[in-house]
């Protein structure tokens, strides 16, 4: 079925507005786009009354499948090889989904590691001072990846001012065995500063559903003063977070104060 001019305009606007401004030749019934800023390609289609978004980044698709409705097999539209498709009902969620594809593609492995390698390839690593420079570069790359993954908002509270946000490792930098582990967006949470301090100190953690857990060392008076209560929870938890959150609960939650 031919795509109407108005639906073509809507699909094209969603792609261009949300980071996929490189238009490619149509792929059958799909409009095809790439991005200069994210290592992924998308395909967009309209099957009345719904919009369909397909992405060729396996890591992005695995993360999206936990929150977005997958395009059903046998739905009347053949998904291109190597792509996973999702369905939305209106233009607002269409823009939201395409924007999330772009953010995730910039955040998920192996993109942060690629950026880190490019920025540090020629830097010396002999002295402790030189290694600290490498670490600072890695932490900046990690922060940018978390900002992309969490949409620029605290993973718990939704606080959006970047001056109030911290890129918090779940398993600390020094405890990681490889740069890939250190820069893995699933080994981090974007947290408001007071939550980051409590998380890093082992005073709070989160269960596999995202609910907050308190250490017995976290005094009720301090919780009240900070507004940290039992209804707080992570906005989402991906499968990749689970082993790291398990590590945090096992090795940091409730540790003795230094």
Each residue of 205-237: pLDDT tens digit? 999 999 999 999 999 999 999 999 999 999 999
Same domain, 121 and 63: no
Same domain, 196 and 78: no
Nearest Cα neighbor of 224 from 214, 234, 233 is 214
Separation CA 243–CA 236 (nearest Å): 15
Question: For residue 57, how far is the Cα from the chain centroid?
Answer: 13
Q: Is residue 214 part of a domain?
A: yes
pLDDT at site 257: 43
Same domain, 72 and 176: no
Same domain, 97 and 25: yes
Q: Is residue 257 part of a domain?
A: no
Give the pair of three-digit tokens for residue 59: 């890591």
Q: What percent of the chain has pLDDT over 70?
A: 97
Pair 86, 97: CB distance under 8 Å: yes
Same domain, 158 and 194: yes
Same domain, 52 and 126: no
Please count the other Cβ atoms lying within 10 Å of the Cβ belonging to residue 126: 7
Give the pair of three-digit tokens for residue 245: 């959150």
Same domain, 27 and 134: no
Q: Is residue 246 part of a domain?
A: yes
Angle (nearest 5°) at CA 186 between 111 and 212: 155
Residue 40's domain comprises 5-107
Nearest Cα neighbor of 200 from 236, 235, 170, 173 is 170
Give the pair of three-digit tokens for residue 111: 């993109």
Same domain, 247 and 122: yes
Please count the other Cβ atoms lying within 10 Å of the Cβ belonging to residue 123: 11
Same domain, 10 and 98: yes
Query: Of 107, 128, 158, at which residue does a domain stop?
Result: 107
**Tens digits of per-residue pLDDT, 164-179?**
999 999 999 889 999 8
Whether 202 shows a pLDDT value over 80: the answer reads: yes
**Tens digits of per-residue pLDDT, 50-77?**
999 999 999 999 999 989 999 987 667 8
Separation CA 95–CA 224 (nearest Å): 39
Same domain, 135 and 184: yes
Q: Is residue 181 part of a domain?
A: yes
**Tens digits of per-residue pLDDT, 124-160?**
888 888 888 888 888 899 999 999 999 999 999 999 9
Separation CA 72–CA 151 (nearest Å): 27
E strands, the chain, are: 22-27, 30-34, 41-47, 50-55, 84-88, 165-169, 188-192, 204-206, 212-214
pTM: 0.80
């Amino acid at each position: 079925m031919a795509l109407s001019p108005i639906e073509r305009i809507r699909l094209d606007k969603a792609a261009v507005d949300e980071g996929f401004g490189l238009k490619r030749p149509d792929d059958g019934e799909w409009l095809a786009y790439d991005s200069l800023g994210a290592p992924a390609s998308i395909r967009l289609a309209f099957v009345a009354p719904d919009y369909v978004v397909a992405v060729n980044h396996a890591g992005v698709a695995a993360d999206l499948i936990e929150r977005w409705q997958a395009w059903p097999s046998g739905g009347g539209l053949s998904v291109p090889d190597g792509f996973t498709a999702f369905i939305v009902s209106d233009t607002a969620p269409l823009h939201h989904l395409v924007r999330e594809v772009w953010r995730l593609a910039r955040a998920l492995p192996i993109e942060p590691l690629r950026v880190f390698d490019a920025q540090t390839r020629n830097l010396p690593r002999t002295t402790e001072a030189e290694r600290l420079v490498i670490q600072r570069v890695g932490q900046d790359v990690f922060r940018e990846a978390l900002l992309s993954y969490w949409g620029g908002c605290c993973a718990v509270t939704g606080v959006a001012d970047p001056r109030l946000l911290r890129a918090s490792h779940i398993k600390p930098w020094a405890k990681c065995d490889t740069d890939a582990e250190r820069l893995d967006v699933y080994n981090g949470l974007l947290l408001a500063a007071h939550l980051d301090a409590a998380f890093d100190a082992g005073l709070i953690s989160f269960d596999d559903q995202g609910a907050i857990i308190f250490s017995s060392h976290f005094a009720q008076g301090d919780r009240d003063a900070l507004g940290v209560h039992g209804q707080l929870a992570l906005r989402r938890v991906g499968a990749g977070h689970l082993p790291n959150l398990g590590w945090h609960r096992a090795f940091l939650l409730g540790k003795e104060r230094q």
